[in-house]
């Protein structure tokens, strides 16, 4: 399948955002700003640039504000027109037009029962074609979108593809870590997935950021995956079972910088990283450092 024919993307955003309390009690972490745009704006932009035409949000019942963000705000437009705020009106329309060719839909995950459970909720929306998955905590800054890099590799192999990034031994125990066999440029066969290993026991130096290209076969495995702590269904466990069954699962070591926005310190670091590269904000940092 050509890289540009993966048309659907699943974005699990139903998490409670407990690491961002107390603010996340009332305001979803996915809409926290990275510079002058919400975190989720970057995620949606990437799947669009990777070829997606439809975005399926896996949302929780109390986070409708996220869906509203991607809808045109005619009321605000009229207010800006009435106040003759031409520059702001242009800025608003430009941001709204950024995603006008995307179709958005939502499914509800009533309880936070794991990332695999979240993806399973989108089964009816996906059909029989491969799809992208991008979690709301992981931003990749790259010339070629990470998921497009992965889609090009998927076009060759046609089996599930996991994003890979090397991390230091001090960080390796925070992630799922695959045992891999290199089969091509930046491409690996995944032979095993170990969750949060000790540095001395890690099967590789690769972590797995939250970006995947999956085939519909994953739903069968998610449905029969045994739940773990508090009934959670974990995507990595389903992929591990596929591997044990002799199915091919691949990894792609993408080119780009991985910004983790799943906690306050990571979110702050991401803002600093982007600010130092932004044509407007980097001038402020030069002044600030003085």
The number of distinct structural domains making up the chain is 1
Strand pairing class (54-59; 8-12):
parallel
User: Which residues, at least 6 apart from 174, have a Cβ–Cβ distance to it below 8 Å?
Assistant: 196, 207
CATH of the domain at 65: 3.90.550.10
Instruction: Note the pLDDT of residue 252.
Output: 96
**Boundaries of domain holding 252:** 3-289
Contact in structure between 190 and 162 (CB atoms under 8 Å): yes
Q: How far apart are alpha carbons 219 and 9 in whole angstroms?
A: 15
pLDDT at 206: 94
pTM, whole model, 2 decimals? 0.88
pLDDT for 227 equals: 72
Which position has the token pair 């972590």?
207
Tens digit of each residue's pLDDT (9 = 90 or more) over 143-177: 999 999 999 999 999 999 999 999 999 899 888 89
Taking only the tens of pLDDT, the chain with its 290 residues reads: 555 579 999 999 877 667 767 776 777 778 888 888 888 999 999 999 999 999 999 988 877 788 888 888 888 888 888 888 888 888 888 887 878 888 999 888 888 888 899 999 999 999 889 999 999 889 999 999 999 999 999 999 999 999 999 999 989 988 889 999 999 999 999 999 998 899 889 999 999 999 999 999 999 999 988 777 677 889 999 999 999 999 999 999 999 999 988 888 888 998 888 888 887 777 776 666 54
């Amino acid at each position: 399948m050509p890289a540009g024919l993966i048309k659907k993307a699943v974005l699990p955003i139903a998490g409670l955002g407990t690491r961002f309390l107390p603010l996340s009690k009332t305001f979803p972490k996915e809409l926290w700003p990275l510079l002058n745009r919400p975190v989720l704006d970057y995620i949606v932009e990437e799947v669009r640039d990777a070829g997606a035409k439809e975005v399926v949000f896996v949302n929780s019942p109390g986070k409708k504000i996220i869906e509203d963000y991607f809808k045109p705000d005619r009321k605000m437009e009229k207010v800006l027109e009435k106040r003759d705020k031409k520059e702001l009106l242009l800025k608003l329309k430009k941001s709204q037009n950024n995603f006008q060719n995307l179709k958005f839909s939502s499914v509800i995950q009533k309880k936070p029962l794991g990332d695999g459970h979240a993806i399973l909720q989108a089964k009816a929306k996906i059909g029989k074609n491969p799809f992208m998955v991008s979690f709301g905590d992981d931003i990749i800054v790259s010339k070629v979108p990470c998921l497009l890099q992965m889609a090009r590799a998927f076009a060759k192999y046609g089996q599930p593809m996991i994003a890979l990034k090397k991390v230091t031994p001090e960080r390796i125990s925070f992630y799922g870590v695959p045992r891999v066999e290199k089969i091509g440029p930046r491409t690996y066969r995944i032979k095993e997935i170990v969750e949060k290993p000790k540095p001395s026991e890690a099967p590789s130096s690769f972590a797995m950021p939250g970006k995947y290209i999956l085939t519909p076969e994953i739903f069968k495995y998610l449905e029969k995956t045994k739940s773990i702590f508090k009934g959670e269904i974990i995507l990595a466990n389903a992929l591990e079972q596929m591997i044990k069954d002799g199915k091919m699962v691949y990894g792609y070591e993408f080119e780009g910088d991985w910004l983790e926005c799943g906690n306050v310190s990571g979110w702050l670091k991401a803002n600093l990283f982007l600010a130092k590269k932004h044509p407007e904000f980097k001038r402020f940092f030069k002044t600030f450092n003085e």
